Structure 1
Amino acid sequence: MTLPSTLGDHDELMARIARDLVDSYDEEIELELEDRNLDELESGTITDKAGRQAYFKELFRLQGELVKLQDWVQHSKQKVVILFEGRDAAGKGGVIKRITQRLNPRVVRVAALPAPNDRERTQWYFQRYVAHLPAAGEMVLFDRSWYNRAGVERVMGFCSDDEYEEFFRTVPDFERMLVRSGIKLIKYWFSITDEEQHMRFLGRIHDPLKQWKLSPMDLESRRRWEEYTKAKETMLDRTHIPEAPWWVVQAVDKKKARLNCISHLLGQMPYHDVPHPPVELPARVRNADYLRHPVPASMYVPERY
């Protein structure tokens, strides 16, 4: 493509840039489809157009602030850890997606650890989490964290009573140590009702694109709702410390939960605009002896769409 030489060419280029911007925002629309019934969208039975527009407008504004936060973290060499905890289907993954969607994965990354393997089970409990802590200029979002021991491990019997009590003796000191080392530690618990989790589980069961989200452990957790409630109450009571308090996000309404969580997160750090030098696109070097060789037609992906 040649560079624009007339006003008309310039307008066409700006129109193409605008279309690319809209395409990038469509990514958020695609994520929203996870929360909607496709038949409803096609039939037009979802009528809250104004509410959806207000949600997207505010989400995009907050994501712009997250970019500023990211620049400030990188520029000022901050170290940030954010824990996302809650029951299965509480919406943790959804808010993590919206936080990281427009950020640099080299600065902001997600740690979602699987169940410990045989070797990790013999290590100091916190050891495998320490390996994922941030260096200067990084943010790490833990999609579940060391609090697995206070939740699923306790309820499902994957740890002994002694290991459970040792966790509660150790975790306040562990977190204070992280804070003293210069890490900003923020802990969120996503709270949903019994009825809402029931509805979301049914939605996953009947949606082929979401069934992978339901593991046998998730189904068992549904049966043990009350045990999880007791474990959560104990966890919040024994690990809500001044250096790293818990923040509870009301998450029955997914959209409100995302906006409230992101807004609160932004308010936890004194970030500010980081000045950047103007970006200028350099002219491409053009050599008279350069000849672009054609690519064989057999190498192209068929254009079915």
Structure 2
Amino acid sequence: MQEWVRSTGARVVVVFEGRDAAGKGGVIKRVTEYLSPRVAHIVALPVPTERQRGQWYFQRYIEQLPAAGEISLFDRSWYNRAGVERVMGFCTQDEYHRFLHQCPIFERMLVEDGVYLYKYWFSVSDTEQQRRFRARANDPMRRWKLSPMDLESITRWEDYSRAKDEMFVHTDIPEARWRIVESDDKRRARINMIADLLAAVPYQEIPTQKVEIPKRPSSRGYQRPPRDLQQYVPDFAAKLLR
């Protein structure tokens, strides 16, 4: 699929949305594991700057859209406005309703221009979300993934549910349907999402030339400088093996 995108100049946008700890990051990691970073780009935007707050809402996301031969994977997207901004009061009522009106228009414009747009919502149960939060809190390697906003989402579970339902009513359009992934089982969710994406993108196999590895030419007298003239990283792995 990647080679088809690159060789045909296709533009693919994949939106990953869902509750905190729904497994979006893990899926994106698996999707991109064997893809070239020159073709597939992960978009995970930080909090908007003061200047970006004064722009049209979709403007900073437009800058991240793919050019010909590229795939953009949005780890959260313009749907922040319909989710966390709506629930946490980070936007006004007017801004929220303007988003619900403009978002379908914006996405239809993308599709009409030839962009392949796929939107995935990862659905996790409240009990599984809390289990994952506890696992993060007890794991120093993953504790950075647990933010105050994540903890706040626990107390606002129903608010997020209502916001998601209303978002679906306005943005589940024929040109860009929401594709819901049950994600209580992370491994199944990853397999199901990847299989669905590959089935949805109308790619074809692109013939490739067989790569021939050339033989190394004979030595012409090169001698490597003495090792003690250069600084080498200590072999810490040898200590672990012993």
Superposition TM-score, scaled by structure 1 size: 0.76
Structure 1 distance, partners of 2:146, 2:74, is 20
Task: Select which of 139, 159, 164 maps to 1:232.
Answer: 164
Structure 2 distance, partners of 1:283, 1:125, is 55
1:139 paired with 2:71, answer yes
| 1:255 Cα deviation from its structure 2 partner | 0.6
Match of 1:99, SS? helix
Task: Select which of 175, 178, 193 maps to 1:261.
Answer: 193
Q: Equivalent residue for 1:171?
A: 103
Q: Equivalent residue for 1:304?
A: 236
- Unaligned 5+ runs, structure 1: 1-68
Structure 2 distance, partners of 1:196, 1:232, is 18
How many residue pairs match? The answer is 237
Task: Select which of 57, 67, 72 maps to 1:125.
Answer: 57
Structure 1 distance, partners of 2:207, 2:226, is 43
**Which structure 2 residues correspond to residues 69-148 of structure 1 after superposition, within 5 A?**
69-148=1-80
Match of 2:153, SS? helix
- Unaligned 5+ runs, structure 2: 238-242
Structure 1 distance, partners of 2:69, 2:26, is 24
| 1:287 Cα deviation from its structure 2 partner | 4.4
Structure 2 distance, partners of 1:297, 1:273, is 51
Structure 2 distance, partners of 1:152, 1:145, is 11
**Which structure 2 residues correspond to residues 39-54 of structure 1 after superposition, within 5 A?**
none
Task: Select which of 154, 160, 166 maps to 2:86.
Answer: 154
Structure 1 distance, partners of 2:42, 2:176, is 20
Q: Equivalent residue for 1:198?
A: 130
The one-letter amino acid of 1:262's match is I
Structure 2 distance, partners of 1:154, 1:117, is 19
| 1:124 Cα deviation from its structure 2 partner | 0.5
Task: Select which of 237, 259, 270 maps to 2:202.
Answer: 270
**Which structure 2 residues correspond to residues 2-21 of structure 1 after superposition, within 5 A?**
none
Structure 2 distance, partners of 1:213, 1:175, is 30
Structure 1 distance, partners of 2:46, 2:156, is 21
Q: Equivalent residue for 2:142?
A: 210
**Which range moved further: 280-289 or 180-189?**
280-289
| 1:285 Cα deviation from its structure 2 partner | 3.4
Structure 2 distance, partners of 1:173, 1:214, is 34
| 1:75 Cα deviation from its structure 2 partner | 1.1
Greater share of helix residues, 1 or 2?
Answer: 1
The one-letter amino acid of 1:147's match is Y
Q: Equivalent residue for 1:285?
A: 217
| 1:177 Cα deviation from its structure 2 partner | 0.4
RMSD across aligned positions (CA): 1.1
The one-letter amino acid of 1:151's match is G
Structure 1 distance, partners of 2:211, 2:227, is 33
Match of 2:127, SS? helix
The one-letter amino acid of 1:111's match is V
| 1:70 Cα deviation from its structure 2 partner | 0.4
| 1:109 Cα deviation from its structure 2 partner | 1.1
- Higher relative contact order (Cα pairs below 8 Å, separated by 6+ residues): 2
Structure 2 distance, partners of 1:284, 1:190, is 50
Superposition TM-score, scaled by structure 2 size: 0.95
**Which range moved further: 275-284 or 90-99?**
275-284
- 1:134-159: CA deviations, max 9, x gaps? 01111010000000000000001000
> Sequence identity of aligned pairs in percent?
57
